[in-house]
Structure 1
């Protein structure tokens, strides 16, 4: 398995890229009001080139945009005294630049409706076990090292996670166990949503197992098991986010992307559903940038050719170029070791997905708010340490020796943040199937191919791993689609 650190990541940045990273952290701190007590240290630490660029931008009102309004469109006499403190930051954006998902609008709305402290808290909650630089660099790479555009994307994503999808507060905190309980709800809508969510998991329509030649987690999607209209759109979106977030849990540096395998065996038009495809594309392009390593479309029939032309038109060219078509195990072996290709795909991996239901008490620590708050308070101290070191790193960017010493200190704090996350994880995230079967272990350790079931799997009893999946509550019948089921 090869797992070298890719370019544009912590440890492989060019001097120019490192300067862009400083600039983005500077903007983040201004949005979050971090370091303002240091007499404007963040703002004053801009490089001479950045200051010259800002001065040039001031000469052209058409191309200048503040956080809350396009200055070039304001009347000369219009007062700006009511603007929030962070409105003084200026983004050098040109009118008419492409904004596929309207993130600039979401950016302004977020800054207008949320306090700097709230934005800061949500950004830190996104970090989880990542190196903070690694997370921020995803947005920089996605926006071709344009710090202003990267900031817009990051803040928009933060708002999407916290306000629209409620990723941490709802989806990951409630998880599978809450959905299992909701299947018995007296509320028909809640019951249906929970049933549809759990159906995706129980049937194994998509699951994560093993890794490719680059060490990237493999997400297999059995397209033939999905049939348009069987599950509610909200449930499909919820499950998509849940699966992506779960896949994040199994990323281990230097690996920071995943591979998706769409198994098109026995595909028919009855399996084609454009709505969840569009949502998935938006997730990866707008809210999970630089998380997709490779996409393999396996055994696509001839009828998929026209469908692919439509889908390709929706994709960013960078994403589209990551898609590869394979027809047999030999072609797939270019990306995945034959021993990790499942037998049903003509490989050697003798493993079959079998869902294990949640076990009573596996999420007991979610109710221990006292311990959670104590751990989060300690973690807040690490956030502040990292922010302080980053402020110094920004200020001393032109001093090579000093900057190198500070960078080492920042990396050490980032390592502590990663280790610390797994202490608080059981108090924030409901246990998943992967915790239950012993793939995701305490401390964030992974065992994709365990020889024996562990005694304890991340707080879940071993008995759970041995228990068969319970039959889902009766609702609408779910049938596998055959090649004859053509609309």
Structure 2
């Protein structure tokens, strides 16, 4: 069967106000700038269905395409996933690891007589941890940070799961709710300003991150604690931030993990599984094949030694004046919509 012909991506002037390239570097079917007429029609159909139900936010083409790809371009399934996402943004919930259901995200210990007030993510991203005090406190027990870019230009995200000590975290007044809200805010900040800045610098659209999960220190004593939190974090990622994983490297895994991974991998979507590599032994060689030495922290075999530590530098194009622009959440509420001017000529393709 002949491959369906791809045509320049059509942008919608009502919602698509981008000031960064909108074409992905590789011509993958269903990705921005590489759509068939049928796929473009499905974007239009999904947007019209959502508008009919009164939705007005997050209807830009890049967002709708991520949800469509996540549901194999099944418009009805993508619509369900998107509407669940919008409702979640208005009143955040999390996976209840005891019952398997969902519960309202709570920042403090829950009092049965006083249910937690729902958290609106659009409001929270503007105010959460503006002084960085929470992140600094959490870093004492759980290290997670963005640091520069890989060779493709994607932001590199690093987590040191083995350092999680939930007992000490809870003693410090840090609840699961606070950690999950912090994770959601970081997803929002990856979407804007990190990915737009990386796209401007790379000269093509980047929608995903390169993730390093450092499992050093994860053992039987803390595995159950780590697994419970990771379950909640994974549910948030899968349900509300689809198509954000570029590639993940699981490094310093204990011997038991390799056996567990072989079992878990069979239950994953093949596309997702193909994006995850478990690196045995010293990870430096493989990481340096994908991340420039000057961008990789010395701890992992690179040459980067940021002043004060790579873990707190937040170094990357989003911190460089040439590539960074104010994020939507940094603007006044009355001017909160993204007002970047399209760089595409005639609304097609990407800026050089």
**Could you state the TM-score of these two structures normalised by the residue count of structure 1?**
0.49
Q: RMSD over aligned Cα, in angstroms?
A: 3.4
How many Å apart are 1:138 and its aligned residue? 0.2
Of 123, 133, 146, which residue of structure 2 is paired with 1:169?
123
How many Å apart are 1:175 and its aligned residue? 1.8
Q: State the number of aligned residues.
A: 267
| 1:4 and 2:4 are equivalent in the alignment | no
> Which structure exhibits the higher relative contact order, with contacts defined as CA atoms closer than 8 Å and separated by 6 or more residues?
2
Partner residue, 2:296: 341
Matches within 5 A, 1:311-322: 311-312=264-265, 315-322=268-275
Report which stretch shifted further, 139-148 or 157-166.
157-166
Name stretches of at least 5 consecutive residues in structure 1 with no aligned partner.
32-115, 181-194, 357-368, 387-406, 416-487
- Quote the Cα distance in structure 2 between the aligned partners of 1:161 and 1:308: 32
Higher share of residues assigned helix: 1
| 1:400-430 superposed Cα distances (whole Å, 9 cap, x missing partner) | xxxxxxx965569x99xxxxxxxxxxxxxxx
| 1:303 and 2:263 are equivalent in the alignment | no
| 1:267 and 2:218 are equivalent in the alignment | yes
8 A contact 2:142–2:161 mirrored in 1: no
8 A contact 2:163–2:217 mirrored in 1: no
Partner residue, 1:29: 51
Partner residue, 1:154: 82
Partner residue, 2:168: 230
Matches within 5 A, 1:242-391: 242-249=185-192, 250-252=194-196, 253=199, 254-272=205-223, 273-309=226-262, 311-312=264-265, 315-326=268-279, 327=281, 328-351=283-306, 352-353=309-310, 355=312, 372=332, 374-376=334-336, 379=337
Name stretches of at least 5 consecutive residues in structure 2 with no aligned partner.
1-23, 93-118, 170-174, 200-204, 314-329
Of 118, 141, 150, which residue of structure 1 is paired with 2:69?
141
What SS does structure 1 have at the residue aligned with 2:183? helix
- Quote the Cα distance in structure 2 between the aligned partners of 1:277 and 1:305: 17
| 1:122-169 superposed Cα distances (whole Å, 9 cap, x missing partner) | x24xx7xxxx11111000101101111111111111111112252221
Report which stretch shifted further, 205-214 or 245-254.
245-254
How many Å apart are 1:307 and its aligned residue? 4.2
8 A contact 2:144–2:311 mirrored in 1: no
Of 138, 147, 156, which residue of structure 2 is paired with 1:200?
138
- Quote the Cα distance in structure 1 between the aligned partners of 2:247 and 2:70: 16
Of 42, 62, 73, which residue of structure 2 is paired with 1:20?
42
What SS does structure 1 have at the residue aligned with 2:236? helix
Are residues 168 and 310 of structure 1, via their aligned partners in 2, closer, same or farther at CA, if it must alter by over 3 Å?
A: farther
| 1:295-324 superposed Cα distances (whole Å, 9 cap, x missing partner) | 100121202234435654664443222110
**Could you state the TM-score of these two structures normalised by the residue count of structure 2?**
0.66
